[in-house]
A and B are shown apart, each in its own frame.
Chain A
Amino acid sequence: MSSEEYYKETFIIIPAYNEKAAISKVLGDLSALGCVIIVVDDGSLEDIKEEVRKYKEVVYLRHKVNLGQGAALQTGIDFAIKQAAKYIVSFDADGQHSAADIPEILSPVFSGEADIVLASRFLVKGKHNASMIKKIVLKGGRWVNYFFTGLYLSDAHNGLRAMNRLAAITIRISENRMAHATEITAQIKKHKLRYKEVAANVIYTPYSRQKGQSSLNSLKIFFDLVLQKLFR
């Protein structure tokens, strides 16, 4: 099978909440790859559909109310599985990831070396421009992640991932909001999925900085995790 055919069976899922300003460029960058692209509009107040409409091949799903990024991702995965996707990539809508990293993170999945590949901005130096505080929070986050999941990852909360069908079916995200990143890690460990970390860029633009999570949000994630541990 040529690599082109692999890409045809790859679905890229983009959870989007009020990302109208950024999503058009993201879709433009991604469309060259030849994958199926799914935008999951998570109850945005902005008219994202208008932007998505410019790309005829992009599938548009909409949550009628805002549920959170984890929920949107799971909806996209459900859709992709129904459409017989063989490979699935998750990609943030705000433009912080680079489309050029996708072949790199997909290749261990294509070759069968890993069930799931997690992008990391900390694996290699110079892959991100996060502020000092953000860096401290993210690096602290890996210990929290380790404490809750038993899996130590260099970049616990990176939205860029690639997985095969097996991983997509095995992992069920029930944390609607941001704690889903930790939940995915926990399920990798629990179901003994073969995983790999691959270095990838994360570029914060002034736009994504303003739109993205504030560092304080990490506390909210922490409480979501604690409460989940207590009640499941």
Chain B
Amino acid sequence: MNGIQILLITGVILVAVYFFVRLHNSILDILLLLAMVSGALVFIFFPNASNRIAHKLGVGRGADLVFYLSIVIFWFVILKLYVRIRKLEKIVTDVVRKDALSEAGKISSTDY
């Protein structure tokens, strides 16, 4: 086993443990996490496997294939997060607005 493999495996296991501690409430989350971790471990232990898949898809190296796929996945994640933020923003707006409107009467009658 060479250095990079040790580094990557340590990283993957740390991330997996962290997520497991945080998200152990849903079975689906755990299955997804297990699938991703085992996938990552397989490709770290057998780098040639990713090379073979890459060749089949017309990409020169396995590492390049992983790189291209990660870009697409990151875009997807960023957009999902953006939608989530917009939703949260709408909720905050509704709450703050409701509060402002309900306080309106009080301020004009008691404060002045």
CA distance A74 to B90 in the complex (A): 13
CB contact under 8 A between A53 and B111, given known A63-B96, A64-B96, A174-B90: yes
In the complex, A176 has a CB within 8 A of chain B: yes
CA distance A55 to B68 in the complex (A): 62
Chain A contacts for B111, CB-based, 8 A: 49, 53
Contact yes or no, A78 B97, CB < 8 A: yes
CB contact under 8 A between A71 and B101, given known A53-B111, A56-B112, A60-B107: no
Interchain nearest-CB distance for B41 vs A (Å): 36
Chain A contacts for B8, CB-based, 8 A: none
Taken residue by residue from 35 to 65, chain A's Cβ proximity to chain B (1 for < 8 Å, 0 otherwise) reads as 0000010010000010001001001111111
CA distance A128 to B92 in the complex (A): 36
Chain B contacts for A133, CB-based, 8 A: none
CA distance A63 to B102 in the complex (A): 11
Chain B contacts for A82, CB-based, 8 A: 101
CB contact under 8 A between A62 and B100, given known A67-B93, A71-B93, A231-B86: yes
Contact yes or no, A67 B104, CB < 8 A: no
For A, the interface residue count at a CB cutoff of 8 angstroms equals 23
Contact yes or no, B100 A75, CB < 8 A: yes
In the complex, B19 has a CB within 8 A of chain A: no
Q: Which of B61-112 contact A (CB under 8 A)?
A: 82-83, 86, 89-90, 92-93, 96-97, 99-101, 103-104, 107-108, 111-112
CA distance A63 to B101 in the complex (A): 9
Q: Which of A48-97 contact B (CB under 8 A)?
A: 49, 53, 56, 59-65, 67, 71, 74-75, 78-79, 82
Chain B contacts for A67, CB-based, 8 A: 92-93, 96
Contact yes or no, B104 A79, CB < 8 A: yes
In the complex, A32 has a CB within 8 A of chain B: no
Chain A contacts for B92, CB-based, 8 A: 65, 67
CA distance A43 to B99 in the complex (A): 12
Contact yes or no, A40 B108, CB < 8 A: no
Contact yes or no, B103 A63, CB < 8 A: no
CA distance A56 to B107 in the complex (A): 11
Chain B contacts for A75, CB-based, 8 A: 97, 100-101
Contact yes or no, A231 B82, CB < 8 A: yes
CB contact under 8 A between A78 and B101, given known A67-B93, A231-B82, A231-B86: yes
CA distance A231 to B82 in the complex (A): 9
The closest CB in chain A to the CB of B105 belongs to A59
- 25 pairs, A vs B, C-beta closer than 8 Å: A40-B100, A43-B96, A49-B107, A56-B112, A59-B104, A59-B108, A60-B104, A61-B101, A61-B104, A62-B100, A62-B103, A63-B96, A63-B97, A63-B100, A64-B96, A64-B99, A65-B92, A65-B96, A67-B93, A71-B96, A71-B97, A78-B97, A79-B101, A231-B82, A231-B86
Task: A65-B96, A67-B93 are known; give 12 further A-B pairs, CB within 8 A.
Answer: A60-B108, A61-B101, A61-B103, A62-B100, A62-B103, A62-B107, A63-B96, A63-B99, A71-B96, A71-B97, A75-B100, A75-B101
Using CB atoms and an 8 Å cutoff, list the residues of chain B in contact with chain A. 82-83, 86, 89-90, 92-93, 96-97, 99-101, 103-104, 107-108, 111-112
